A and B are shown apart, each in its own frame.
Chain A
């Protein structure tokens, strides 16, 4: 016990005394969020997932436009019923600890996910069993037809860990991830993660020596780091500070449309909010353009469906205009002319706080009042995840939420948020929205592999869900990152993550 403590202290001292990186090519990435876990099977946030993707790979992956591409699998086939998916694995790939990547490795990983205890275990729910056909071929046999299974396999929740690491570390693999990717895990100290180049990467030469992911939650400090040359890449680049950075010749700004949608989670279990008219009133009372302009620095476009336009199978709906009179009329009709009290929950990064304040200001006009509770992002999600449908005193809340579908597919953009089976703790339907028709349509899109069938199902699903106003619809982010001109090859992905494999530092 004492020895362990001594080692801890020495570790700290060692870290503190570690010399500066010297003349090596080390990239510093300054982020807003802190990593929650480095175990891909137990990760729910985009930031952690993106760091994992630099070190670990899945059978399939995504390119920079979120199209599915083969990664550790060279090719795949599936039967016409979409119940069996066979993957031919890439040969000659090894994990960072020397373990060979093969069908057995895949089996271990999938078994771990299917074991049911981890946050992303639900990804493998459609799977009945994994068959090892031979050393480099595996076959997933599904319970039911599932057209988007390829996207599931490409999800960062299904990244491959070294079986030796799983055996050695068990659940602590979150602090010791070992994969096949372009970068090798070095350390995760306090909130900073450092990864270094994998010289034996099968996918080609890695051009930088290391990358450090340093969370700098304070927007002003993050921008300052970039301007002072102490960070090479920052994300998010706060839109309200663009003016300050645009004038700097050493800095380049990257703007991309995203698949990150922001919305107000309405607790539909709570009496007034369970009435769709009240929820519609909320939507009419929100002046989304103002919120975008003022709280978000203009870096967004108004949402016009439950999923963002860049997501597969999106169908445009008619956006709710800002119409205060109509909002008041609806409230009156529902019997809540005098309004009611709620709690506004929000994570504390300043843009979200501002947006929630504006929501508070605007909803006051229809007599929905309440205080704002803000907390750091991790705590915010912990809080929402802890609610249960049958909680007796479930508070009436309006929470500032957001989501990006990390599979690029409509299913993952709708089902975890609006399906009845997605109530926490299973998935992220934090508002406990439940509608039979919507459930049916989600299911219809899920089970078919035929794009035409899926398109129609999702179109109908959006048509059905939109008017029911499960959320206060807000907007779709425009991702803004800023980087030093000496850095090439890192860019933001539409889901809010990032790609670093091609990172390169020029002098």
Chain B
């Protein structure tokens, strides 16, 4: 088990390296001059040149990359060109709201998505199947910003059930934005659950259980559902990783102080340090979650470890 864990950990290193190189390179592709931006309004050519040297922008790309990665490993992500504050600070301020939103959104999507998917699988071919899939697919057929705005009008303004927008730390503020976010992911989860569930239902041990006379309900929940959950968890992990990147649209409609909006603002001003840090962060999330999910999978299904 430990060997497998170490092996998996080792395999993520090349991915991280590739990603970090891409992140640095990608950000350089954006037109604009960071030294000029950093120097601010007062700067003359000499100051800009000095700053360029200070930031190391006059060195060759590979050298810059090594220097940057060295700093990252020490926890220094540089200063935001726009606000002059440490990138680490800027990101950490927005990380928790993004995390909360992602978790809450995931909760909705699991609640509805897995439920509808399971219903569709159990009642395969009958009207419940169609109804469930129809509802969940609707979630992914609406542009998120429209869904969000309509949700605000209905639930916040007319019914007064939830706060409209913004995040000051109250749990109720999570309701509408996470619902909007969740609706999209719910559709994905529903479809995935349906197919995973059906895969399992066709396995031999299910027919064996039925032949043995196990009540249908137990067959469904104890045998089928539990085993279908494994790939579902994998998919959920994947989606969660995406949500951790922040959702720009939901954040804009609900004035949510998250990483998605932060990224789009950084892109607009070519705030290189922020962009590089964010790209690294997203990749890290993804790789880490993949790893975690693999580990869970391996724990449950020992066969995998011996591949």
Contact = CB atoms under 8 A, between A and B. Distances in A.
25 contacts: A9-B96, A12-B95, A16-B97, A18-B169, A190-B93, A192-B166, A216-B165, A216-B255, A218-B149, A218-B253, A220-B149, A220-B153, A221-B149, A221-B165, A221-B254, A224-B152, A225-B164, A228-B156, A228-B157, A228-B164, A230-B156, A375-B268, A376-B265, A378-B269, A425-B42
A252 to B, nearest CB: 18
B269 A379 contact: yes
Interface string B236-277: 000000000000000011110100000001001100000000
Contacts of B254: 218, 221
Interface of A: 1-2, 5, 8-9, 12-13, 15-18, 20, 30, 116-117, 119, 121, 171, 175, 189-192, 212, 214-218, 220-222, 224-225, 227-230, 375-376, 378-379, 382-383, 385-386, 424-426
B156 A224 contact: yes
Interface in B95-123: 95-97, 100
A221 B268 CA distance: 23
A189 B255 contact: no
Interface residues of B, number: 43
A229 B163 CA distance: 9
Given A1-B75, A12-B95, A20-B170, 9 more contacts: A8-B89, A12-B92, A13-B96, A216-B166, A217-B252, A218-B255, A224-B164, A230-B156, A375-B268
Contacts of B269: 378-379, 382-383
Nearest to A226: B164
Contact of A224 (B82, B165, B167, B268): B165
A353 B252 CA distance: 16
Contacts of A385: 41
Contacts of A426: 41
A121 to B, nearest CB: 8
Q: Kindly name the residue among A8, A116, A190, A383 whose own CB sees the greatest number of chain B CB atoms within 10 A.
A: A190
Nearest to B265: A376
Given A224-B157, A228-B157, A425-B40, A214 B96 contact: no
B268 A18 contact: no
B37 A425 contact: no
Contacts of B36: 386
Interface string B14-48: 00000000000000000001001100111100000
A9 B93 contact: no
Nearest to A36: B83
Pick the 5 closest A-B CB pairs, nearest first.
A190-B257, A425-B41, A379-B268, A375-B268, A216-B255
Given A9-B92, A217-B255, A228 B160 contact: yes
Contacts of A425: 40-43
Contacts of B212: none
B255 A214 contact: yes
Contact of B163 (A13, A217, A230): A230
Contacts of A171: 84
A386 B166 CA distance: 31
B72 to A, nearest CB: 13
Given A16-B96, A221-B152, A425-B40, A191 B257 contact: yes
A5 B92 contact: yes
Interface string B145-172: 0000100110011001001111111100
B88 interface: yes
Nearest to B43: A425
A425 B44 CA distance: 9
Nearest to A244: B157
Contacts of B165: 216, 218, 221-222, 224-225
B43 to A, nearest CB: 7
Contacts of B152: 220-221, 224
Contacts of B160: 228-229
B157 A192 contact: no
B268 to A, nearest CB: 4
B252 A218 contact: yes
Interface string B61-97: 0000000000000110000001011001100111111
Nearest to A118: B42
Contacts of A218: 149, 165, 252-255
B226 to A, nearest CB: 34
Nearest to B32: A386
A27 B96 CA distance: 25
B171 to A, nearest CB: 9
Contact of A378 (B93, B157, B265): B265
A227 B157 contact: yes
A8 B168 contact: no
A91 B242 CA distance: 59
Contacts of A18: 168-169
Contacts of A222: 165
A378 B254 CA distance: 19
Contacts of B166: 30, 192, 214, 216, 225
Contacts of B82: 378, 382
Contacts of B88: 5, 8
B94 A17 contact: no
Given A192-B166, A218-B252, A386-B37, A379 B42 contact: no
